[in-house]
Amino acid sequence: MIGVPCLLVDAPNIAHRVWHSHRRHALHETLTERYQRVLTEHARALGATRRIAAVERTRSFRYEIVPGYKANRPARPPELRAFIDALPALSAEAGFEVWHAPDHEADDVLATFAASLDGGLIILSTDQDLYACVNDRVRVAVPHGGGVRLVDHEGVVGTYGVPPEKVPLYLALVGDPSDNLRGVRGMGARRAAPLLARFSSLDALYGALHELDDVPRKLLGRTPRSDVEACLRAATLVTDAPLERLHEGCPDERETGAARRSSTAPETLRAFIERHQGLAPSDRVDASTPREVLRRHLDAASFKARLGMLGDPACPNVLMDVLAEDASETVRRLVAWRASASATLQRFANDVEGVRHALARNPACPPEVLEHLASSTEATVLTALARHPTLSSLPGVRLRVAVNPACPADVRSTFLSDACDAVRQAAATAAVGSGAEAWPIF
C-alpha cells in the first residue's frame, strides 16, 4: 500500500478499459461489478483516504475550437453508451465522490482538483494528456497488469522528452492522433525536440521563427498559426473548470447489498425503466417505489424488454431483485444464470439479434431459452444453435430447428442422420420443401 490522501479517477477512461477487457474475456461477473471492483481495488491498493471520480455529462468546448476533434474515433455501440451514462451512479456506489464540469472533459475536472487540492494525490488513468498534471505531489497511476505503473516527473520526460509543463506544447507541435489533433504537418517528435528544448510557448517560438533552421521554419510556415494555437488550446487541460458535484459517494465500501440498492438515484431508476419499456408522464418511479409497483411495470413489459433489462450494464440491483421473482420462469432462471452469462448478455444488450446469437453460442444457456431460439428467423442464430453442446439431449429443440423455414440447408442436412426418428423425418420433409409450420419467435 502506497498511502495517498486523495485518488482521482478518470472514470470514462477506466470504463473504456473495463469495457474492452470484458468483451475479450468471458468473465464471471457483470460489467458494472467489474468496473466497481477495479475502482475499489485500486483505491485500497493505493491507500487513498479520499476518492473522487471525474465524469462527463456535456459536450466539451474543444469540439468548437478544433474541427474534427475526436472524429477519428468509432461510434460507441448502444450498450457502451448505456454503461458510460451509468458511471456517475456506479462510481458513487463504489464509494467515490462524483464530479463533472459543464462543457469540459473529465481530464479538466482532474486537472482542476490536481491544481487546487493540498497534499499528495494520484490520478488513475491511461490518458497521457494527464501527464501535464505531474509535479512533486501529483503522480499518474497507469493500470498495468494487476497493478499500476506510477508516472512521476522522470516518467513524463522519458515518454515525451519534455517536462510535464511542456506536454501541451509538445502535443500542439507533434499532434495527438487519439484526439485527432494534427499539430504541425510533418513536424514529428524528432524535429520538435530541439524546439521544445529551446522554447516554452508558441509566442516565443513564432517570435524567433527567422532564427530557426530551414526545415522547421518551412513546416511552421505551411501550417496556419491559428491551427497550431487551436491544437494548443485543446491540448491544454483546464485547471479552473466550473466543478459540480453529482454524488457524495459512500465512505464505507463494505456497505451491504440492501444499502447499495437503496442508493439508486431516482432519476437513474426511472430513466432505466423508461429506456426499456416507456413510462406514462404521471408514473412516479424512484428508489422508494414499493416493489409491487415496480413489479406491475415490469410485468407489463415484453419478454424481450425484460431480457434487455437483464443484459443492460446499468440495470439497478432493485430491479434485479424484482425480476428474480418474475412471473416467467425463464426470466427467473436468467436472473440466477446472469452471473455466468453476463459477458454474453451485456455485450449485445441493445442488439436483439446479437442477444439471440450470443445466447445460442453460450454453453450455459437454459433449455427453455434454447427452445425460443429455435424459432428465430436469423440463419446465424440457427447455425450457432445447431452446434450447441447440449442440443444432443434436446430432441424437441432439434425438431424446431429442423422444421424452421429459416434454417440453412447445410444446417438442416446435419439433422438427416439425427438419432431421433422424428427429427430425421422432419428434416427430410423440410428439405424437399413440404412447407413446415413456422413457430412463434421472441
- 315 versus 113: the higher-pLDDT residue is 113
Condensed to tens digits (0 to 9), the pLDDT of residues 127-168 reads: 999 999 999 999 999 998 778 899 999 999 999 999 999 999
pLDDT at 264 over 90: no
65, 230 Cβ separation under 8 angstroms: yes
Domain 6-162+240-247 and domain 166-235, same fold? Reply is no
Condensed to tens digits (0 to 9), the pLDDT of residues 1-23 reads: 555 789 999 999 999 999 888 76
pLDDT at 217 over 80: yes
| Residue type, position 217, single letter | R
Q: Give the confidence band of 263 by pLDDT, cuts at 50, 70, 90.
A: very low
In angstroms, the CA 328 to CA 351 distance is 22
Condensed to tens digits (0 to 9), the pLDDT of residues 326-371 reads: 777 777 766 665 544 444 444 444 445 566 777 787 776 777 678 7
Q: What is the mean pLDDT of residues 32-46?
A: 88
pLDDT value of position 286: 60
For domain 6-162+240-247, the question of CATH label 3.90.1520.10 is answered with: no
pLDDT at 436 over 50: no
Q: How is residue 74 annotated by DSSP?
A: P
Domain boundaries, the chain: 6-162+240-247, 166-235, 260-350, 366-442
Q: What is the mean pLDDT of residues 108-113?
A: 97
pLDDT at 25 over 80: no
Highest mean pLDDT among 195-209, 266-280, 368-382: 195-209
In angstroms, the CA 325 to CA 333 distance is 10
CATH number of 166-235: 1.10.150.20
Condensed to tens digits (0 to 9), the pLDDT of residues 241-250 reads: 999 999 865 5
Please classify residue 222 by burial: count the beta carbons closer than 10 Å to its beta carbon, then call 0-12 exposed, 13-18 middle and 19+ buried. Answer: exposed
In angstroms, the CA 288 to CA 184 distance is 56
Supply 382's cell numbers. Answer: 440457427
In angstroms, the CA 81 to CA 89 distance is 14
